[in-house]
Amino acid sequence: MYTKTNKEIYRFKVFVDEEVEKEVDVEKDVEVEKDVEVEKTRHNEHGEEEQYTEIEKKIVTEKQIVKEKRTETESKEHIFVIKQPTRRQMEEADMEYSIEMSKCVKEGVLTKNMLLNKYSDVGGIMSEEEAKKLGKMYAELSELQTKFTAFKIKELNVDEFSEKQKDIYEKMSMLRRDITTMETNFSSLLSHTADTRAQNKVISWYLLSLSHTENTDGELEPFFNGDTFEEKKESFYQMEEEEDAVLSVVYEKLTAFISFWYFSVSTSLEDFETLEKDIEEGNF
């Protein structure tokens, strides 16, 4: 999986048109008080009229370069970084998946495995063989997720996977990829299952937790404020309600990149760059 420094999944830029206030030089007619020579007439000692000049202060209009504040639209660069999750974060995400699955089942929402068993019994849009195969894949994925979440952290470095955990994670990634490929033709049937809701919850969890921006000092800052998932979700809702310009530009890309990473067995820099190009060209 591509990482820039073993801590990043992908980094990219977006440009947002923003209104900025700037001081500009403007030539204007300005009224100023100045000493000016004024011609006057007087009578001399012989009683004759004569012309003379006198300095007086008067308000005159002249052209000057002055500073004015004006609002201009400027394309501002924003650097986004999707951080590589730690093992602790991945276990928390898998726990969120399990919690959401349990919640959905309690509410009466069928799992994909239940739905596939139902269709294999009564017939439907997929064959019995297809339904059983997909059901088996979901059962295996569920078992792997349970094993992964239940792992006890033994290493001192929580950012490092044990070999056994790496093996399980790779198998989970491969199953997700195969399931996604097989589900393409049945997406409308399976889109409202407990699995899909739990899967969407995990992707949202990763999006809110891993999305960062890079400031002018090169330091990373969370894009969504808050210490917990719920706080970050509230931050997202608030930005959405306020029609945040940056969020509206970047949300589609963040969702696409994180979903691509989540469902892929392995990803390279070139894979992400190709995906980004497809998004920008409207092919995604």
Note the helical H segments in the chain: 87-106, 112-122, 128-150, 163-183, 187-190, 194-210, 229-241, 245-263, 269-280
**Half-sphere exposure (Cβ direction) of 151: Cα atoms closer than 13 Å:** 25
Asked whether 112 and 134 are in contact (CB, 8 A), the reply is: yes
**Gap between the Cα atoms of 17 and 107, Å rounded:** 44
Q: Please, is 229 exposed, middle or buried when counting C-beta atoms within 10 Å of its C-beta (0-12, 13-18, 19+)?
A: middle
**Gap between the Cα atoms of 41 and 251, Å rounded:** 79
Per-residue pLDDT at 234: 95
Per-residue pLDDT at 109: 87
DSSP string, 18-47: EEEEEEEEEEEEEEEEEEEEEEEEEE-TTS
Radius of gyration of the CA atoms of the chain, in A: 34
pLDDT, tens digit, for every residue of 96-144?
A: 888 898 898 899 888 877 776 776 655 555 666 777 787 788 788 878 8
Per-residue pLDDT at 1: 39
Q: What is the largest CA-CA distance in the chain?
A: 132
Please say whether the dihedral angle defined by the alpha carbons of residues 58, 62, 67 and 68, taken in this order, is positive or negative: positive
Strands 49-83 and 8-43: what pairing? antiparallel
Q: Kindly list the distances between the CA atom of residue 99 and the CA atoms of 134, 195, 202, 277, in Å, as whole numbers in the listed order.
A: 22, 11, 10, 36
Output the pTM of the full model.
0.64
Residues of the chain with pLDDT under 70: 1-6, 116, 119-128, 148-162, 183-190, 265-266, 283-284
Please say whether the dihedral angle defined by the alpha carbons of residues 260, 261, 266 and 272, taken in this order, is positive or negative: positive
Per-residue pLDDT at 28: 81
